[in-house]
Chain A
């Protein structure tokens, strides 16, 4: 970061579970080094101290779900030199984007005693749908090693080295038996971006898509493979509607199978 001796880092939260920003605090071996490399200017989960912007790097967690938050993200964008959205909520609307397929009013009346008090948008959307985002770090939750890589890349003025190939590549690198073959048909590995280290197949279950669709994901081909193994339309829809349900490739495939 040019022009400053210690770059400033701000961490912002929208609708989310806090897990992705917790990943930063979970960098137990690196935290004090990261804290030494940047000035943490805004990070409410970790500190009472708040420094005024502008900020060199902003990490944004969570999705936009209220009119107020749709305004707030613009202020954050204006105050940030680099804006990085982190996690499935910030990059795809998160699990709360399941409302996008339904009538949100019905949801409000299921959960809340007094629906009139609720002010919420019909859709839960990614940060990119509202402002320009410099980099998107995927995952539910994000990988902390990828987080350190992205921070280090921006602090050193280089491109982050984050793979965009599928979970299958990680599975092969690990020497796992193919989950699609071994643990039943509904493994999302072939269409899901790497990043977890092929975690679920290693734990004897199919991938359920925490890192969202990989680049040029051929979801239709995967769906055809599942259908050939008697997976029902209902299961197909549910499978694509997880934590990245509103990421384009997953959304389109779930909608195609809903008809």
Chain B
């Protein structure tokens, strides 16, 4: 009988606190757990009774890594409830802000959280000893994204300018111009990042996922679109609740999101890329081709290349918006709170982020539902672990443990995001 346990008490280089356990008996994987022991924070509970204009600032605090995603989903969902549509100029400015978050979050993940795995380093600081120019360039790339968020949003973490109906303050053309120069540099650096990531060693591992992402009539998706999948899903965002559900599974205390009737699905860069390749800009598509990616990619380890391609796209899109930017005549459109339910889904760097709010006539929240990307991917993370370990059972435990960690880090999981609803598991010693 051959049995072993692969256990990581504290998963490093992810946002928040989690661990993993894979149990093997008689050369078969018998149990897989992606454990989350991050304490719950009850956002949906204390949003009740808060005014619509406080929600955008409060939900930003769910995540320090992708606050813009929370602000965008919340603002759009409340606008949906009030029947508000922002002007095209404001819509472009929101895309620009989202570009900044994608650049900084993806650059952080690609170089600081993920690349050290492929090269055998414990962290990017150790990697910098041998690859100093790469790390320095990555820091500047990340900084360009942060500069963009800080200029439009006020600061990098928990920006303060976003509001329902638009912004508190909008930048002038002259204020954006210097960023245009930095973004040209950043786009070139991102193309180099694509080539760098494409040169990493990848395990031979492909899966037949159901990819779920937004699909928009002409844009690579940030804030709007229908929810689509490669297996026939094509619904409006307000139909989310009828198509997805959260399940309580026996082996874990964590709720898992599934596609009703079909099971686990995958959200994030691979899903976006595979469903929206035709919406990428020519420069981003060209970088993908030079990296050897086809119009689709089914190896989750190669999500690092796809993230780099999305950095190229975000730089390119930011440049396009800045070049054609005209300061909106009004920073916020006129509206009045109305009672009702609003829905929105936007593309956080790590996948779709669904928000639903029910509001009273004064615009106060009666109830809120927030489904972050990490909870939607959880079930797939465990499925990946099972599929990955099964043919590699004879790999030495230390090496296999590190590879299992990497299977999880492929998702850029944000555990802080997920814990507003995940149950607490106190397995840690």
- A110: chain B residues within 8 A (beta carbon): 42, 44-45, 48
Asked if residues B146 and A18 are in contact (CB atoms below 8 Å), the reply is: no
The CB with the most chain A CB atoms within 10 A, among B39, B113, B128, B169, is that of: B39
> Is A240 interfacial (CB 8 A cutoff)?
no
Knowing A26-B157, A204-B169, say if A95 contacts B41 (CB, 8 Å).
yes
Nearest CB of chain A from residue B53's CB, rounded to whole Å: 10
Asked if residues B15 and A45 are in contact (CB atoms below 8 Å), the reply is: yes
Knowing A68-B428, A114-B248, A204-B169, say if A31 contacts B41 (CB, 8 Å).
no
- B428: chain A residues within 8 A (beta carbon): 68
Interface size on B, residues (CB 8 A): 71
Closest chain A residue to B429, Cβ basis: A68
Knowing A107-B42, A113-B248, say if A118 contacts B64 (CB, 8 Å).
no
> Is B122 interfacial (CB 8 A cutoff)?
yes
Bitwise interface map of B from 397 to 429 toward A, beta carbon under 8 Å scored 1, else 0: 000001001000000001010001101101010
CB neighbors of A among B11-44 (8 A): 11-17, 38-44
- A43: chain B residues within 8 A (beta carbon): 123
Nearest CB of chain B from residue A118's CB, rounded to whole Å: 6
Bitwise interface map of A from 136 to 166 toward B, beta carbon under 8 Å scored 1, else 0: 0000110000000000000000000000000
Nearest CB of chain A from residue B104's CB, rounded to whole Å: 8
Nearest CB of chain B from residue A26's CB, rounded to whole Å: 6
Asked if residues A141 and B64 are in contact (CB atoms below 8 Å), the reply is: yes
Knowing A117-B424, A118-B424, say if A107 contacts B157 (CB, 8 Å).
no
- A196: chain B residues within 8 A (beta carbon): 155
- Residue of B51, B160, B426 touching A119 (CB-CB under 8 A): B426
Nearest CB of chain B from residue A240's CB, rounded to whole Å: 12
- Expressed in whole angstroms, the Cα–Cα distance for A13 and B11 within the complex equals 13
Asked if residues B64 and A15 are in contact (CB atoms below 8 Å), the reply is: no
> Is B195 interfacial (CB 8 A cutoff)?
no
Closest chain A residue to B132, Cβ basis: A32
Closest chain A residue to B405, Cβ basis: A48
Asked if residues A205 and B253 are in contact (CB atoms below 8 Å), the reply is: no
Knowing A28-B143, A44-B17, say if A111 contacts B248 (CB, 8 Å).
no
Q: Which of B134-142, B208-216, B291-299, B300-308 contacts A (4 or more CB under 8 A)?
A: B134-142
- B65: chain A residues within 8 A (beta carbon): 18-19, 22
Asked if residues A48 and B122 are in contact (CB atoms below 8 Å), the reply is: yes
Bitwise interface map of B from 126 to 165 toward A, beta carbon under 8 Å scored 1, else 0: 1010000001100110110010000000111110110100
Closest chain A residue to B367, Cβ basis: A110
- B48: chain A residues within 8 A (beta carbon): 110
Knowing A114-B248, A141-B157, A238-B51, say if A208 contacts B423 (CB, 8 Å).
no
- Expressed in whole angstroms, the Cα–Cα distance for A154 and B248 within the complex equals 47
- Residue of A29, A46, A65, A69 touching B124 (CB-CB under 8 A): A46
Asked if residues B158 and A19 are in contact (CB atoms below 8 Å), the reply is: yes
Asked if residues A66 and B157 are in contact (CB atoms below 8 Å), the reply is: no
CB neighbors of B among A33-54 (8 A): 35, 40, 43-50
The CB with the most chain B CB atoms within 10 A, among A13, A19, A43, is that of: A19
Knowing A111-B42, A118-B423, say if A203 contacts B62 (CB, 8 Å).
no
- Expressed in whole angstroms, the Cα–Cα distance for A114 and B422 within the complex equals 10
Nearest CB of chain B from residue A210's CB, rounded to whole Å: 8
Knowing A18-B63, A203-B168, say if A48 contacts B39 (CB, 8 Å).
no
Asked if residues B46 and A120 are in contact (CB atoms below 8 Å), the reply is: no
> Is A224 interfacial (CB 8 A cutoff)?
no
> Is A98 interfacial (CB 8 A cutoff)?
yes
- Residue of B135, B143, B414 touching A32 (CB-CB under 8 A): B135
Nearest CB of chain A from residue B267's CB, rounded to whole Å: 20
Bitwise interface map of B from 41 to 80 toward A, beta carbon under 8 Å scored 1, else 0: 1111110101100100110011111010000000000000
> Is A227 interfacial (CB 8 A cutoff)?
no
Knowing A49-B122, A243-B61, say if A17 contacts B154 (CB, 8 Å).
no
- Residue of B113, B163, B423 touching A117 (CB-CB under 8 A): B423
Asked if residues A17 and B416 are in contact (CB atoms below 8 Å), the reply is: yes
- Expressed in whole angstroms, the Cα–Cα distance for A141 and B113 within the complex equals 21
- Expressed in whole angstroms, the Cα–Cα distance for A229 and B40 within the complex equals 38
Nearest CB of chain B from residue A72's CB, rounded to whole Å: 9
- A200: chain B residues within 8 A (beta carbon): 154, 160, 168
- Residue of A26, A69, A199 touching B39 (CB-CB under 8 A): A69
- A120: chain B residues within 8 A (beta carbon): 39-40, 424
The CB with the most chain B CB atoms within 10 A, among A35, A112, A200, is that of: A112
Nearest CB of chain A from residue B182's CB, rounded to whole Å: 12
| Pairs across A and B, CB under 8 Å, 24 listed | A17-B63, A18-B65, A18-B416, A20-B64, A23-B157, A43-B123, A45-B14, A47-B123, A48-B12, A48-B122, A99-B42, A99-B45, A99-B46, A107-B42, A107-B45, A110-B44, A110-B48, A111-B420, A112-B421, A113-B246, A113-B255, A117-B423, A204-B168, A204-B331
Q: Which 3 A-B pairs have the closest CB atoms?
A: A19-B64, A47-B123, A49-B122
